[in-house]
């Protein structure tokens, strides 16, 4: 009985990835090229999200600064969810809604990218981070799910939405990690092609 349930989880994950691939591939390629170009020009990527999305932001930043699958110089990626002193000070003084936006104001500069992750597209602190990024001249890649939420409506034509085709949070998160691995692989290949 439990094996059937587990098999259904695999099937649902595969279906969500296939549905997303059919819609998201052009935007994913555009995001990869944009990030590679920015990183080559000395810009950085700031990443944020809540809960599992915070873990994904940290994962992506670690893949940039360390390595993904091939040896290469470190690339500047910063997860905005890892500094507990900043998070607690900003949360205490300005409210949890501003924990990422204040860091974007402090660390971001025009030409940098914000990788904003929200499975619902409605996380208030991620929305405020996007607004701060746009005000400072950063570009935005938003990883969303479901309808894209408020974030989808907030993005400019120069921003990029990578939306998982699913209504289920677990499936959205599984697609998001695939998006991030695709971006890492593409960045490596674009900047440091395999011989």
The predicted-structure confidence for 57-91, as pLDDT tens digits, reads as follows 999 999 999 999 999 999 999 999 999 999 999 99
Query: What is the per-residue pLDDT for 31?
Result: 98
CATH architecture of 49-191: 3-Layer(aba) Sandwich (3.40)
Which of 126, 111, 125 has its CA nearest to residue 161? 126
Q: Is 63 annotated as a binding residue?
A: yes
Query: What is the per-residue pLDDT for 194?
Result: 84
Query: What is the per-residue pLDDT for 178?
Result: 98
The predicted-structure confidence for 101-135, as pLDDT tens digits, reads as follows 999 999 999 999 999 999 999 999 999 999 999 99
Query: What is the per-residue pLDDT for 162?
Result: 98
Q: Which residue has the tokens 């809960």?
A: 51
| One-character DSSP codes across the chain | -HHHHHHHHHHHHHHHHHHHHHHHHHHHHHHHHHHHHHHHTT--EEEE-STHHHHHHHHHHHHHHS-SSS------EEETTS-HHHHHHHHHHH-GGGTTHHHHHHH--TT-EEEEE-SSS--HHHHHHHHHHHHHT-EEEEEE-TT-HHHHHH--TTSEEEE-S-SSHHHHHHHHHHHHHHHHHHHHHHHS---
Q: Is 120 annotated as a binding residue?
A: yes
Q: Which residue has the tokens 């810009």?
A: 43
Q: Is 121 annotated as a binding residue?
A: no
pLDDT of residue 195 exceeding 90: no
Q: Is 108 annotated as a binding residue?
A: no
Q: Is 103 annotated as a binding residue?
A: no
Using a pLDDT cut of 70, give the percent of the chain over it. Answer: 100
Q: Is 173 annotated as a binding residue?
A: yes
Q: Is 176 annotated as a binding residue?
A: no
> Alpha-carbon distance 3 to 166, whole Å?
23
Where exactly are the structural domains of the chain? 49-191
* CA neighbours closer than 13 Å in the CB half-sphere of residue 179: 35
Q: Is 51 annotated as a binding residue?
A: yes
pLDDT of residue 14 exceeding 90: yes
List phi, psi (to 5°) of 77: -130, 135
Please state whether beta strands 139-144 and 113-117 pair in parallel, antiparallel, or not at all (unpaired).
parallel
Q: Is 181 annotated as a binding residue?
A: yes
Mean pLDDT of the chain: 97
């Amino acid at each position: 009985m439990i094996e059937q349930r587990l098999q259904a989880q695999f099937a649902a994950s595969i279906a969500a990835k296939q549905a997303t691939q059919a819609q998201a591939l052009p935007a994913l390629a555009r995001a990869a090229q944009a990030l590679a170009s920015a990183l080559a020009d000395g810009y950085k990527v700031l990443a944020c999200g809540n809960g599992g999305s915070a873990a994904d932001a940290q994962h992506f930043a670690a893949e940039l600064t360390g390595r993904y699958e091939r040896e290469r110089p470190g690339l500047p990626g910063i997860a905005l969810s890892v500094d507990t002193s900043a998070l607690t000070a900003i949360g205490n003084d300005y409210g949890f809604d501003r924990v990422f936006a204040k860091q974007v104001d402090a660390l971001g500069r025009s030409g940098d990218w914000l990788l904003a992750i929200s499975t619902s597209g409605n996380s208030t602190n991620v929305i405020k981070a996007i607004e701060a990024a746009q005000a400072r001249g950063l570009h935005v890649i938003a990883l969303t799910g479901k309808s894209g939420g408020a974030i989808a409506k907030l993005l400019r034509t120069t921003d990029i939405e990578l939306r998982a085709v699913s209504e289920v949070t677990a499936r959205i998160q599984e697609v998001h990690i695939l998006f991030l691995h695709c971006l890492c692989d593409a960045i490596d290949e674009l900047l440091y092609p395999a011989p």
